[in-house]
Amino acid sequence: MNKNVYLTELLQKDYKETWDYQTDLLQSIIDVKIKNRREKQSNQTDNYFLFVEHPHVYTLGKSGEMEHLLLNEKQLKEKEIAFYKINRGGDITYHGPGQIVGYPILDLENFFTDIHKYLRLLEEVIIKVIGEYGLKGERSEGETGVWLDVGTPFARKICAMGIRTSRWVTMHGFALNVNTDLGYFDHIIPCGIRGKAVTSMEAELGRQVDLEEVKMKILAHFKEQFEVKEFIKKASL
């Protein structure tokens, strides 16, 4: 089993371009798996991890409802916000500057074949990361992602998650609000959950947080939780 992961930093990149790139990577892994089974081979499959920061965009998952987007097409254009219906799980969310988006494209057969465990470990990575800044991240039953003050009237989400898997290969991932402009969440019902707030590390700590520092902490905890052998830096296609 290959536990090395190619790491690609996409910097600021359009959502649709990144989505297409993820799809290409996922398909390249699946092609190897299909060939292995057809030809009774055992070629190694690769794993990838993408970091990216998107321009303003709302994305609606397969289980989402259009009424959770509170802007019409004209308003989206006026505010220069893109919108896509996409093939991940979950409802509607926002991506934008100051947010760290991570897309692990893993062949889970290199790690473990358990989607529930995969999501819980992704959450654990973020819980560990924000814990280093004195923030107590928690899970909220039935609501994927990482929250603060669960079970109180002040519950608020700091990291959204939504994934897709095909033949045990993952795509999409998590979006951690670091220095994110939270005003953009006012135009949606985040994750389709009414009456719950969204927050950021900046809002909680009262200061801007270094994005590169947070990324390094994410990689360190991801490596630990998923027992990654090594991250190998790789340019995009």
Where would I find the H helices in the chain? 15-39, 73-78, 115-131, 201-205, 211-226
Maximum CA pair distance of the chain?
57
DSSP 45-97: PP-EEEEEEPSSEEEE-TT--GGGB-S-HHHHHHTT-EEEE-SSSS-EEEE-T
Residues 6+ apart with CB under 8 A from 80: 56
Partnered with residue 48 across adjacent β-strands are 6, 105
Q: Catalytic residue at 159?
A: no
Give the Cα separation of 104 and 189 in Å (integer): 26
Catalytic residue chosen out of the listed positions 29, 60, 191, 228: 191
Give the Cα separation of 29 and 34 in Å (integer): 9
Give catalytic residues, as residue numbers: 191
